[in-house]
């Protein structure tokens, strides 16, 4: 027990607390903050940061999936459709990284550029989600069920590529896409379905990165020690907090980080 505690890095534990608390409060911000923190503050190689964060996300979101599954707030049909697109796309993306060699300059540039794009896209969805939903409801007619099924699989494929390269997008982008595709679904079922899908997505991508040798297991342990209790505590108090201000602030931070990756990497 004491040996385990002595091996923990307090700065990584603190990072887990901060990010875990934000996820517990708003449901988003895990990969979009943790990966930039590992790269910019701790100087970690982009590939290692993405791989470590993917396994971190799969473990933390497994707990959320169990809770949502118990409360019957997961549409497993939707989860299956997303996974039909995301799992093959994830495997293909990991194969591309293997071909490019994860430590090469080309691979590192690809990861940082995609990470910057994913952060910007996440920021836009956080800021414009409500006005986009109003415009969508007023101007877009109800879609054919078969078209919805195909678009859901396509959404999963896009998320598979984005998440495998950047660890960003499974939360904010996934939820926004499901809101547009399934406007009549209860919000809690959309969130539950998105979290449930994030588990096989991030686990597949994380295992792929482990084959590439891009997991820092010591850092992963410290992050989890901080994030798991923080998620539990902030999930309890989240009902008393206004997440609108938190979402806007998070979006502004993500835009600034995006600029950092695009212009100074």
Phi-psi region of 14 (alpha: psi -120 to 50; beta: other; left: phi over 0): alpha
Phi-psi region of 177 (alpha: psi -120 to 50; beta: other; left: phi over 0): alpha
Q: Is the pLDDT of residue 12 over 90?
A: yes
Residue 258 counted as domain residue: yes
CB atoms within 10 A of CB 40: 15
Average pLDDT over the chain reads 83
**What DSSP line would sit under 73-113, residue for residue?**
---HHHHHHHHHHHHHHHHHHHHHHHHH-TTSHHHHHHHHH
**Which pLDDT belongs to residue 2?**
46
Shortest CA distance to 199 belongs to which of 172, 171, 223? 171
Q: Under a CB-based contact definition with an 8 Å cutoff, are residues 148 and 181 in contact?
A: yes
Residue 220 counted as domain residue: yes
Phi-psi region of 141 (alpha: psi -120 to 50; beta: other; left: phi over 0): beta
Shortest CA distance to 22 belongs to which of 258, 254, 199, 189? 254
Q: Is the pLDDT of residue 26 over 70?
A: no
Which structural domain range is residue 167 located in? 27-263
Residue 8 counted as domain residue: no
Residue 22 counted as domain residue: no
Residue 144 counted as domain residue: yes
Q: Give dist(CA 140, CA 181) in Å, integer.
A: 11
Work out how many domains the chain is built from and give that number.
1
Q: Under a CB-based contact definition with an 8 Å cutoff, are residues 258 and 36 in contact?
A: no
Residue 6 counted as domain residue: no
**Residue matched to tokens 């490019």:** 100
Residue 241 makes CB contacts below 8 A (sequence gap 6+) with 25
pLDDT tens readout for residues 36-49: 889 888 989 888 99
Residue 12 counted as domain residue: no
Q: Give dist(CA 175, CA 168) in Å, integer.
A: 13
pLDDT tens readout for residues 206-252: 999 888 888 999 999 999 998 888 877 776 665 555 556 666 777 77
Residue 255 counted as domain residue: yes
Q: Under a CB-based contact definition with an 8 Å cutoff, are residues 198 and 171 in contact?
A: yes
Q: Under a CB-based contact definition with an 8 Å cutoff, are residues 50 and 111 in contact?
A: yes
Q: Please give the average per-residue pLDDT across 172-181, as a whole number.
A: 86
Residue 29 has what DSSP assignment? -
pLDDT tens readout for residues 107-156: 777 888 888 888 888 888 878 878 888 887 777 777 888 999 999 999 99
Q: Give dist(CA 191, CA 74) in Å, integer.
A: 8
Q: Give dist(CA 209, CA 81) in Å, integer.
A: 24
Residue 41 has what DSSP assignment? I
Q: Name the token pair of 245.
A: 């201000």
Q: Give dist(CA 238, CA 24) in Å, integer.
A: 7
Q: Give dist(CA 148, CA 45) in Å, integer.
A: 38
């Amino acid at each position: 027990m004491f040996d385990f505690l002595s091996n923990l890095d307090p700065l990584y534990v603190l990072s887990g607390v901060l990010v875990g608390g934000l996820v517990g409060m708003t449901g988003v911000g895990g990969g979009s903050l943790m990966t930039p923190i590992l790269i910019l503050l701790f100087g970690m190689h982009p590939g290692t940061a993405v791989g470590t964060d993917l396994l971190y996300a799969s473990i933390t979101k497994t707990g959320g999936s169990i809770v949502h599954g118990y409360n019957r707030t997961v549409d497993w049909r939707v989860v299956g459709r997303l996974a039909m697109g995301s799992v093959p796309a994830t495997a293909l993306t990991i194969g591309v990284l293997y071909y490019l060699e994860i430590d090469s300059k080309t691979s590192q540039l690809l990861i940082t550029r995609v990470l910057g794009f994913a952060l910007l896209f996440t920021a836009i969805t956080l800021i414009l989600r409500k006005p986009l939903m109003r415009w969508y409801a007023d101007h877009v007619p109800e879609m054919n069920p078969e078209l919805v099924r195909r678009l859901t699989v396509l959404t999963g494929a896009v998320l598979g590529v984005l998440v495998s390269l950047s660890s960003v997008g499974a939360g904010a982008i996934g939820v926004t896409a499901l809101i547009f595709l399934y406007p009549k679904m209860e919000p809690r079922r959309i969130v539950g379905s998105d979290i449930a899908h994030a588990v096989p997505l991030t686990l597949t991508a994380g295992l792929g990165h482990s084959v590439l040798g891009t997991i820092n297991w010591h850092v992963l342990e410290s992050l989890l020690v901080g994030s798991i209790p923080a998620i539990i505590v902030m999930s309890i108090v989240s009902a008393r907090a206004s997440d609108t201000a938190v979402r806007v602030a998070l979006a502004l931070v993500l835009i600034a980080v995006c600029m950092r990756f695009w212009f100074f990497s």
